[in-house]
Amino acid sequence: MRKLTVTTFVSVDGVMQAPGGGEEDRDGGFEHGGWAVPHIDERFIQLMAALTGRADALLLGRRTYDIFAATWPLAEAGDPIGAKMNGVRK
């Protein structure tokens, strides 16, 4: 059985937005940019590594692909998320 897992960043008031820096993703007049960064901690990274580690492929939107493509080749040795991003079909 195949399974589709969707990961998204959604605020309590329902705003979906990129998790990047404060200047990222201000389209549509959203003034807070990447609001999630201050909330990323070690537990969050462990959870994302576990989710990413189970993936057989990644389906990314164009902007997300471009952002990821600029960073995943720079992943440090031993980075489980970076290793998966470098090796999985996109």
- Tell me, yes or no, whether 49 lies in a domain: no
In a domain, 50, yes or no: no
Q: How far apart are CA 22 and CA 29, in angstroms?
A: 13
Model confidence at 81: pLDDT above 70:
yes
Spatial separation of the C-alpha atoms in residues 90 and 82, rounded to whole Å: 13
The pLDDT, as a whole number, for residue 23 is 64
* Residues 63, 35 share a domain: no
Q: What is the number of domains present in the chain?
A: 2
pTM: 0.65
Is it the case that residue 30 has pLDDT exceeding 80? no
The verdict on residue 19 lying in a domain is: yes
In this predicted model, what pLDDT tens digit does every residue of 38-67 receive, in sequence order?
A: 778 899 889 988 988 888 898 888 878 888
Q: What is the Cα–Cα distance from 69 to 61, expressed in whole angstroms?
A: 12
Task: Identify the pLDDT of residue 10.
Answer: 80
Looking at the domain assignment, is residue 46 inside a domain?
Answer: no
Residue 50: its pLDDT value, please? 92
**10 domain residue, yes or no:** yes
CA-nearest of 10, 7, 15 to 59 is 7
Structural domain boundaries enclosing 75: 56-87
Q: Is residue 20 part of a domain?
A: yes
